[in-house]
């Protein structure tokens, strides 16, 4: 009798008062996550070759579980030492299997190979910039963790009077919600 009375009193104390609504667990519209990535980024044009292989870290905001906003930076080696900085926005599928497509703006800074041609008799200064599309077909989300395998990116940059091509391959990306 004493145990059942204690159980009833505990249940009454935990329930809301009459006319008062129980608090709801409203999920946040934004989920920030920190991620690490490894792969390669290369920019090729008639004027310069820039990039390499390496890895880096980034920050992603997932809005309503579908829309992605992200920024990351990577250290690259292979053609000297260079750095890639990416800004991206895109969309993902909701669920455990969450393939994504992002529009990215990539800037490459640091060492590069430059070529003198009749169209370009002097060296070009500044970073190599490219605007492109990244597809992540093997991307998975479980709770607050994300894993992506083999993301492919391609883009274009301008090295007037011609165009440069930007290629990106992310071998592995692992993220955790903050």
Inter-residue contact 44 to 52 (CB < 8 Å): no
- Each residue's pLDDT, cut to its tens digit, for the chain (178 residues) gives 555 554 444 444 444 555 555 455 555 788 999 999 999 999 998 888 999 999 999 999 999 989 999 999 999 999 889 999 999 999 999 999 999 999 999 999 999 888 887 777 777 778 899 999 999 999 999 888 999 999 999 999 987 777 899 999 999 999 999 9
Q: How much is the pLDDT for 2?
A: 53
Q: How much is the pLDDT for 160?
A: 72
Structure tokens at 177: 């919600």
CATH of 28-177, one of 2.40.50.140, 3.30.450.20, 3.40.50.300, 2.40.160.20: 2.40.160.20
Cα–Cα–Cα angle for 6, 10, 11, nearest 5°? 120
Q: How much is the pLDDT for 7?
A: 45
Q: How much is the pLDDT for 144?
A: 86
Q: How much is the pLDDT for 82?
A: 95
- Interval 136-147: pLDDT, tens: 999 999 888 999
| CB neighbours of residue 15 within 10 Å | 10
Question: 49 vs 31, 72, 126, 174, CA distance in Å?
Answer: 37, 21, 13, 28
Report the C-alpha gap between 58 and 63 in whole angstroms. 16
Report the C-alpha gap between 168 and 175 in whole angstroms. 19
Q: How much is the pLDDT for 121?
A: 74
Inter-residue contact 34 to 59 (CB < 8 Å): yes
Q: What's the sign of the alpha-carbon dihedral 50, 56, 58, 62? A: positive
Report strand pairing: 30-44 vs 162-177: antiparallel
Q: How much is the pLDDT for 147?
A: 97
Report the C-alpha gap between 143 and 26 in whole angstroms. 16
């Amino acid at each position: 009798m004493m145990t059942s009375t204690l159980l009833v009193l505990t249940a009454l104390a935990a329930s809301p008062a009459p006319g008062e609504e129980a608090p709801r667990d409203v999920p946040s519209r934004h989920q920030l996550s920190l991620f690490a990535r490894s792969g390669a980024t290369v920019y090729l044009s008639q004027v310069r070759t820039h990039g390499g292989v390496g890895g880096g870290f980034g920050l992603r905001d997932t809005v309503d579980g579908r829309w992605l906003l992200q920024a990351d930076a990577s250290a690259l080696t292979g053609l000297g030492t260079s750095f890639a900085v990416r800004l991206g926005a895109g969309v993902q599928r909701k669920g455990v299997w969450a393939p994504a497509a992002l529009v990215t703006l990539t800037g490459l800074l640091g060492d590069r190979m430059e070529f003198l041609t009749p169209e370009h008799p002097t060296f070009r200064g500044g970073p190599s910039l490219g605007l492109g599309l990244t597809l992540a077909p093997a991307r998975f989300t479980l709770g607050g963790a994300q894993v992506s395998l083999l993301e492919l990116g391609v883009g274009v940059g301008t090295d007037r009077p011609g165009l440069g091509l930007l290629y990106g391959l992310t071998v592995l990306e692992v993220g955790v919600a903050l």
